[in-house]
């Protein structure tokens, strides 16, 4: 058994070496990806729960890897954050999402709310303000409402400087949505301190709200509390008709999830939104 234990250790350390090797390789490939602009945005529709009309899109980045194919963000965002590469990637995402929203307007789509995920690393850099100020000079945020989706961890590690930066960016007309809401542990106090306009109920609560009484109560409580603070609520990860009914009955404002649509390439999103427009 001692022998077995030793083998197992070797086995583990080989696994770890393999993981470390893969990471170093991904990191090198990610640098190339930035130079060669191997990223693409998919857009997931967010609908108005009452009317079913498309009210906005969430931009979700993918890496078009020359041999691995389309790589999901969960596989490279963390590395990008650790290495600072999230700064050029995040800048590109913001620019591209706004460029796309303007193109859709020219193609006859109704004004949209464009939600972009922003990492905490980006929020600790003053460059974010310049980036958004520049975008605002280009197209303004009157016809396209820019929503920055931030997670609680951004606020958790935040200083007074983060709060000031959020407010300065907010003055340009940008809105904030607190993503993965409910998964952290002091979400409520953040809503009071930071200029947040919306919350997104995490998929984990939505997916179990019909089977798990506690999740149902939590979803209900989040919606009521957010509304009493004057915030709009989006439910993410809505996959079934009964979840939709549950959320609508509790006055959830917006829905997002596979029931409505998976994230789509830009042109497929445009066609989807045209088919579901207001009026
Ligand atoms: P997120 O912001 O919570 O985004 C929602 C994720 O849930 C997306 O995964 C989306 O495809 C997936 N999803 C949407 N509806 C459903 C559903 O009904 N069922 C299920 N099972 N999943 C659903 P995706 O695109 O793989 O993104 C994963 C995460 O990567 C995002 O989670 C976000 O944290 C991060 N991410 C994506 N794009 C960016 C970006 O441009 N910048 C940064 N910093 N992070 C990003
Ligand atoms: Ca998000
Ligand atoms: Ca989320
Ligand atoms: Ca998430």
Q: 73, 183, 209: which to mutate for ligand 1, most atoms within 8 A of CB?
A: 73
Contact 47, 254 (CB under 8 A): yes
Confidence band, pLDDT 50/70/90 cuts, at residue 279: very low
Q: How many CB atoms lie within 10 A of CB 195?
A: 14
Residues with CB under 6 A from ligand 1: 44, 60-61, 72-74, 77, 90, 93, 117, 119, 149, 179-180, 203, 236-239, 257-258, 263
Indicate which residue's Cα is closest to atom 10 of ligand 1: 263
180-203 pLDDT, tens per residue?
888 876 667 788 888 999 999 999
Are residues 76 and 26 in contact, defined by beta-carbon separation less than 8 angstroms?
yes
Position 139 scores a pLDDT of 76
ipTM > 0.90 (yes/no)? yes
- Taking CA atoms only, the protein residue closest to ligand 1 atom 46 is 117
Annotate 123-153 with b (16+ C-beta within 10 A) or e (fewer).
bbbeebbebbeebbeeeebeebbbbbbbbbe
Q: Which residue has a Cα nearest atom 38 of ligand 1?
A: 60
As a whole number, the mean pLDDT across the chain is: 91
Distance 122 CA to ligand 2 centre (A): 15
- Residue 254: the pLDDT is 98
- When computed from its CA atoms, the radius of gyration of the chain, rounded to whole angstroms, is 20
Calculate how far, in angstroms, residue 179's C-alpha sits from the geometric centre of ligand 2. 6
Q: What is the dihedral of CA 245, 249, 255, 259, to 10 degrees?
A: 0
* Number of neighbours of residue 33 by Cβ within 10 angstroms: 21
DSSP character at residue 227: H
Question: What are the tokens at 210?
Answer: 């019909």
Q: Are the CB atoms for 262 and 236 separated by under 8 Å?
A: no
pLDDT digits (tens, 9 = 90+) for 77-135: 999 999 999 999 999 999 999 999 999 999 999 889 999 999 999 988 778 999 999 98
Q: Which pLDDT tens digit goes with each residue over 145-159?
A: 999 999 888 888 777
pLDDT (0 to 100) of residue 40: 98
Tell me how far the alpha carbon of residue 156 lies from the centroid of ligand 4, in angstroms. Answer: 16
Strands (E) in the chain, as ranges, are 39-48, 54-65, 69-71, 113-117, 145-151, 175-181, 198-201, 232-235, 254-255
**Mutation choice for ligand 1 from 40, 117, 153, CB with most ligand atoms inside 8 A:** 117
């Amino acid at each position: 058994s001692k022998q077995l234990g030793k083998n197992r250790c070797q086995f583990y350390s080989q696994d770890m070496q393999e993981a470390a090797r893969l990471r170093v390789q991904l990191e090198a490939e990610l640098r190339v990806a930035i130079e060669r602009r191997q990223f693409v945005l998919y857009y997931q529709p967010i609908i108005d729960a009452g009317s079913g009309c498309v009210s906005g899109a969430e931009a979700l980045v993918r890496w078009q890897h020359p041999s691995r194919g389309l790589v999901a963000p969960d596989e490279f965002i963390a590395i990008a954050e650790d290495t600072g590469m999230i700064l050029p990637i995040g800048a590109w995402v913001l620019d591209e999402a706004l460029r796309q929203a303007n193109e859709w307007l020219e193609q006859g789509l109704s004004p949209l709310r464009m939600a972009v995920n922003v990492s905490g690393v980006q929020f600790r850099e003053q460059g974010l303000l310049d980036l958004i100020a520049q975008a605002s000079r280009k197209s303004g945020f009157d016809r396209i409402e820019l929503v920055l989706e931030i997670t609680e961890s951004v606020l958790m590690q935040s200083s007074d400087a983060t709060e000031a930066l959020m407010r300065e960016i907010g003055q340009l007309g940008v809105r904030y949505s607190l993503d993965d809401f409910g998964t952290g542990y002091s979400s409520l106090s953040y809503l009071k301190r930071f200029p947040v306009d919306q919350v997104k109920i995490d998929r984990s609560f939505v997916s179990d709200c019909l089977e798990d009484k506690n999740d149902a109560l939590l979803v209900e409580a989040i919606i009521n509390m957010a509304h009493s603070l004057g915030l709009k609520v989006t439910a993410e990860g809505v996959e079934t008709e009964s979840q939709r009914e549950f959320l609508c009955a509790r006055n959830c404002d917006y829905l997002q999830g596979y029931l409505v649509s998976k994230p789509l390439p830009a042109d497929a999103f445009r066609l989807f939104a045209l088919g579901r427009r207001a009026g």
